[in-house]
Structure 1
């Protein structure tokens, strides 16, 4: 059984190397730390892919199981100064601890000494995995099961369903004019932007959310804005809904005949349907009971992960196998220490069973 003190030391090493997704140099430094920690645990160095992704192949034969995680986080450099790594009262804190550096440590320790396993750690998940999606899907197609070390849902529940995501940028092009001298000569991009925001927000409903988020327009207070844009976050339960929203987004047109609307982006992650997780969840429950643990709960969540990609190519996928805690992407991000050991033991038994060809 892995010593919890070792796991906490490894978690600290990963957490104290900050890795905001948008800072490639920082993520590359984090990849070096993950590689060093992982090599010490697994006894073999990983392949380094595109500078920020890491892949371990364990054992001489083909891999049956894909363990999947990421080491990038949402937190900017300097967050550690305000919220340093700490363990107090059985609670571990630090930027990225819950999402998902403790989960990475769990995966590394669970896989140590096992064969038939590929461990893939990516560095751009929080950006939507633009550079790693093909790699993830390729590895998933070669595996019989994908186990995702994203943090658990409330109470340690496993994530058996995830909504699919689409991401868009809507740009409005108008015409500039002096706001005081001759505003009538302009085409106000801010007004047209407001119309498009309302049209887009009306596309949601029945389990689908279509949310305008970051917006901007104009350059000075005394100029009719000539250009503006806003981002759109879409979450759907089914592929049919994802396609419906996509068609509607691409059909957007300007209300003002002098304006023009351009839509870029599209579908990012397909939904993770419950059918992709059912058999693996049942197996995890049987193993938990055999270890004297309570059966983990199961949850459907709105957030997406790289597990959406593995399920999307037809690979049985179980997500949320990582840390138990809360506060993902929030200031109160934390991990409950007492669950780290039992969850890692459950994960190891699950990997061992699947790697041996069990079901």
Structure 2
């Protein structure tokens, strides 16, 4: 029995000695970058870049062009299509390695000008470690900061060609930049997308298509007190549509649908409303879900509840879904193996409800790995948005390690 126990202990000791360890030099360099990452996050957050903010996009474009130039990149400003505000900042490096890689992120946020005054950048401690707060800090200024501070960890032998692309309209479906991202992705060994992750840190095998649902209701105006019965109340019909379509949302991990905006051409208290538009957010993982939703919605709207009301619907696909291929799943397993050298598990979500530019990159037929930005919380909510600074060294280490393994 003693000999068996001794043999088992020896085996365990041998296994522990053989377990992969992080590259000490790379980890030291990544850790040394952490204070600079915090400073960069502050600089990024303090430039307000709500989608469509021309002043903010110009300032951020200038900041990024200077930062990427300082890191040795050759800068190109690419105009998005469709009148989208702000240049796509593209930076390139030539190396001596074997693989061509594209790193993507976005500078626009969901916060319009004035959000910074209400929620300025700040640092705070928590049970999980130090936090940094600010509008858009998680989605996706943390991703930009990760890219900027991964670059100094690389050498020319780590890639044949490295491209960074940061667009300005991701939060509105990348309608002006999606095709450009697809073109930039062609011929790449892989595309690394720096959208945020959560806590515990995780990757995702899929993101959703983002679609817009628009329903217009035409009624008839009339005096609300003198002759309401002579009118056709478009707002009442809108309320019926909202109530009768709630179940078109199929819950977490499935098709998601929610009404998010109500618009009126003339909102006057004493007039029966005659023109109302409902706008909804639809998330699907494939074309079958998209087609099924459209058929179900149109069926629900065939007969208005308010006699005389005219109802028309449009379901518009904005951004394609991303579904990991075998090659993308191999990248996920590579990332998990890198985390295992820290003794940490990197979780995997099968599909997130958010849509990302990974969908456009994947249209190029190349491997894509998503969620390489900083772990954070509060994106797209009215709660304070923050990132976990404790994770910065390993996030930089992960990105640099993947680039080295793919590019050499």
> Given the two structures, how large is their TM-score scaled by the length of structure 1?
0.90
After superposition, the C-alpha distances for 1:37-89 in whole angstroms (9 at most, x for unaligned) are 2222x222421122431111221689622211001111222322232222333
Matched, 1:59 2:94: yes
* Aligned counterparts of 2:215 and 2:244: Cα–Cα separation in 1: 12
Point out 4+ residue stretches in structure 1 off by more than 6 angstroms.
none
Distance 2:308 2:262 in 1: 21
Q: Which residue of 1 aligns with 2:358?
A: 307
**Correspondent of 1:288 among 336, 339, 342:** 339
Q: In 2, are the aligned partners of 1:14 and 1:34 still within 8 Å (CA)?
A: no
Query: How has the CA–CA distance of structure 1 residues 179 and 125 changed in structure 2, closer, same or farther, with 3 Å as cutoff?
Result: same
Aligned length in residues: 354
Q: Is this contact kept in 2: 1:57–1:63, CA < 8 A?
A: no
Does residue 1:327 correspond to 2:378, yes or no?
yes
Structure 2 partner of 1:99: 139
Whether the aligned pair in 2 keeps the contact of 1:188 and 1:225 (CA below 8 Å) is yes
Cα contact 1:70–1:104 (8 A) shared by 2: yes
Once the two structures are superposed, residues 92-144 of structure 1 have per-residue CA deviations (whole angstroms, 9 ceiling, x without a partner) of 12221111112212112223444322111011111111211111121223323
Q: In the alignment, does 2:253 pair up with 1:209? A: no
Where does the alignment leave 5 or more consecutive residues of structure 2 unmatched?
Answer: 1-28, 80-85
- Kindly tell me: are residues 262 and 313 of structure 1, through their superposed partners in 2, closer, same or farther at Cα, counting changes over 3 Å? farther
The equivalent of 2:52 in structure 1 is: 22
Q: How does 1:57-136 map to 2 (within 5 A)?
A: 57-59=92-94, 64-89=100-125, 90-112=130-152, 113-114=155-156, 115=159, 116-136=161-181
The 5 A counterparts of 1:89-238 are 89=125, 90-112=130-152, 113-114=155-156, 115=159, 116-205=161-250, 207-217=254-264, 219-238=267-286
Classify 1:201/1:141 alpha carbon distance in 2 versus 1 (closer, same or farther; 3 Å): farther
Q: Secondary structure in 1 aligned to 2:135?
A: coil
The answer on whether the counterparts of 2:332 and 2:369 sit within 8 Å (CA) in structure 1 is: yes
Aligned-partner Cα distance in 2 for 1:293–1:54:
37
Which of 52, 72, 83 is matched with 1:43 structurally? 72
The answer to whether residue 34 in structure 2 is matched with residue 4 in structure 1 is yes
Give the 3-state SS of the residue equivalent to 1:154 in structure 2. Answer: coil
| 1:237-252 correspondence to structure 2 within 5 Å | 237-249=285-297, 252=301
Change (3 A) 1:302 1:6: same
Q: Name stretches of at least 5 consecutive residues in structure 1 with no aligned partner.
A: none
Comparing 246-255 with 113-122, greater Cα deviation is found at: 246-255
8 Å Cα contact 1:179-1:223 kept in structure 2: yes
Comparing 107-116 and 334-343, the one that deviates more? 107-116
In structure 1, C-alpha distance between the alignment counterparts of 2:100 and 2:387, rounded to whole Å: 30
